[in-house]
Amino acid sequence: MKKIIFLSGLLTSLILSSCASNEIVIQPNAPVSFVAKTERKGDYSFIIPSNFQLIENESLIFESENIYRAYLIYKGEGYIQDLVNFYDREMPKAGWKKISALIGKDAILAFQKDNQIIVIKIQYGLTNTYLRMLLTR
C-alpha cells in the first residue's frame, strides 16, 4: 500500500513538473504614472522613467574621442504597454522620431535623432521590468 501511495505521488509530481514552464515571470507592480527624467550619456540625451535606475555593472560603454556607444540596462517597475505609451509620448518631446516598433511578449522600440539611434527593449524580469538600451549611430 505504501508503494502505491509513493508511486502515485511520484507520478503526480512528474506530471505537474512536466507541465510547468521553464520561464517564470512575476509581473511587477506598476506605478500609476511615469515621470520623465532626462539622461545624458556622451552626446546622447534621452528620456527614462524616473523610477528606473541604471545597473552600471551590467551596462557597457565605449567612448573614444568623439565616438560614444553604449548598451545600458535600467530596472524599475512598470507594465510593458504603459512603458511603450510613455516612450511614444515623451521621446518626440526630446526630438526623437520613432522609426520602428515590435510589440509582443516584450517590446522593442527604435528612435532616431539626427545621426543617432536608440533601440530600447522592454521586458519583464522575475521581479522588475528591464529597459535595455542600445545607443548607436
Each residue's pLDDT tens digit, 24-53: 556 666 666 899 999 999 889 999 999 999
Q: Does residue 117 contact residue 110 with C-beta atoms inside 8 Å?
A: yes
Residue 44 has a CB neighbour count (10 Å cut-off) of: 19
pLDDT value, residue 42: 87
> Where does the pLDDT of residue 21 fall: very low under 50, low under 70, confident under 90, or very high at 90 and above?
very low
Distance CA(6)–CA(14), nearest Å, equals: 12
pTM over 0.85: no
pLDDT at 78 over 60: yes
pLDDT value, residue 18: 40
Structural domains of the chain ordered from first start = 3-136 (3.40.1000)
Higher pLDDT, 36 or 17: 36
Higher pLDDT, 25 or 117: 117
